[in-house]
Amino acid sequence: NLRCVIVGASHAGSQLAIQLRKNGWTGEIVLIGDESQMPYHRPPLSKAVMSGEKDADGILLRPAPMYQAQNVTLRLNERVQSLSAENKQVVLVSGEVLAYDKLALCTGARPIRLPLGDGLDGVCYLRTLADVEAIRARLDEVRRVVVIGAGYIGLEAAAVLRKLGKDVTVLERAERVLQRVTGPQMSAYFQNLHRHHGVDIHCSAEVVAINGQQSVESVTCADGSTFKADLVIVGIGVVPETGLAEMAGLKLDNGICVDEHACTSDPDIYAAGDCCSHPSALYQRRVRLESVQNANDQSRVAAANICGANEVYNMTPWFWSDQYDVKLQAAGLCDGYDRIETDGSAEPGSEEGFVVTYYRDGELIAADCINRAKDFMYYKKLLGS
**By CB under 6 A, residue 172 contacts ligand FAD:** no
Interface positions, 115-144, toward ligand FAD (CB under 6 A)? 126-127
Interface positions, 323-382, toward ligand FAD (CB under 6 A)? none
Question: Which lies closer to ligand FAD via its Cβ, residue 71 or residue 77?
Answer: 77
**By CB under 6 A, residue 37 contacts ligand FAD:** no
**By CB under 6 A, residue 12 contacts ligand FAD:** yes
With CA atoms as reference, report the closest residue to 344 among 334, 335, 352, 336: 352
> Using CA atoms in the order 51, 236, 119, 48, what is the torsion angle rounded to 10 degrees?
10
Q: Which residues of 211-242 are buried (b: 16+ CB within 10 A; e: fewer)?
A: ebeeebbbbbbeeeeebebbbbbbbbebebbb
Phi, psi (5° rounding) for residue 238?
-130, 160
**By CB under 6 A, residue 241 contacts ligand FAD:** yes
Of 5, 20, 29, 32, the one binding ligand FAD (CB under 6 A) is 32
What is the distance between the alpha carbons of residues 149 and 121, in angstroms, rounded to a whole number? 19
Question: Which lies closer to ligand FAD via its Cβ, residue 80 or residue 355?
Answer: 80
Cβ(163)–Cβ(48) below 8 Å: no
What is the distance between the alpha carbons of residues 79 and 92, in angstroms, rounded to a whole number? 6
Span near ligand FAD by CB under 6 A; candidates 112-120, 199-207, 314-322, 339-347: 314-322
- How big is the site for ligand FAD, counted in residues (CB under 6 A)? 37
Planar angle of CA 188, 194, 197, nearest 5 degrees: 140
What is the distance between the alpha carbons of residues 302 and 8, in angstroms, rounded to a whole number? 14
Is residue 330 within a helix (H) or strand (E), and if so which, with residue range?
Answer: strand 326-332
Taking the CA atoms of 347, 349, 351 and 354 in sequence, report the sign of the dihedral they define. Answer: positive
Interaction mask 272-311, ligand FAD, x per CB under 6 A:
-xxx--------------xxxx-x----------------
Of 4, 5, 6, 13, the one binding ligand FAD (CB under 6 A) is 13
> Using CA atoms in the order 118, 120, 126, 131, what is the torsion angle rounded to 10 degrees?
120
Question: Which lies closer to ligand FAD via its Cβ, residue 11 or residue 212?
Answer: 11
97 DSSP β-pair partners: 91
What is the distance between the alpha carbons of residues 9 and 35, in angstroms, rounded to a whole number? 8
Task: Catalogue the E-assigned strands of 190-241.
Answer: 200-202, 207-212, 216-221, 226-228, 231-234, 238-240
**By CB under 6 A, residue 34 contacts ligand FAD:** yes
Of 6, 10, 151, 181, the one binding ligand FAD (CB under 6 A) is 10
Question: Which lies closer to ligand FAD via its Cβ, residue 111 or residue 212?
Answer: 111
Of 45, 168, 256, 269, the one binding ligand FAD (CB under 6 A) is 45
Q: What residues contact residue 146 under an 8 Å CB cut-off, 6+ apart?
A: 168, 169, 170, 171, 219, 227, 229, 231, 232, 233
- Output the smallest distance, CB 132 to ligand FAD, in A: 8
Question: Which lies closer to ligand FAD via its Cβ, residue 8 or residue 348?
Answer: 8
Span near ligand FAD by CB under 6 A; candidates 6-14, 18-26, 134-142, 173-181: 6-14
The number of angstroms, rounded, from the C-alpha of 82 to the middle of its chain's C-alpha atoms is 24
Span near ligand FAD by CB under 6 A; candidates 105-113, 140-148, 251-259, 332-340: 105-113
**By CB under 6 A, residue 168 contacts ligand FAD:** no
**By CB under 6 A, residue 154 contacts ligand FAD:** no
Q: Which residues make up the interface to ligand FAD (CB under 6 A)? A: 7-13, 32-35, 42-43, 45-46, 79-80, 106-109, 126-127, 153, 241, 244, 273-275, 290-293, 295, 319-321
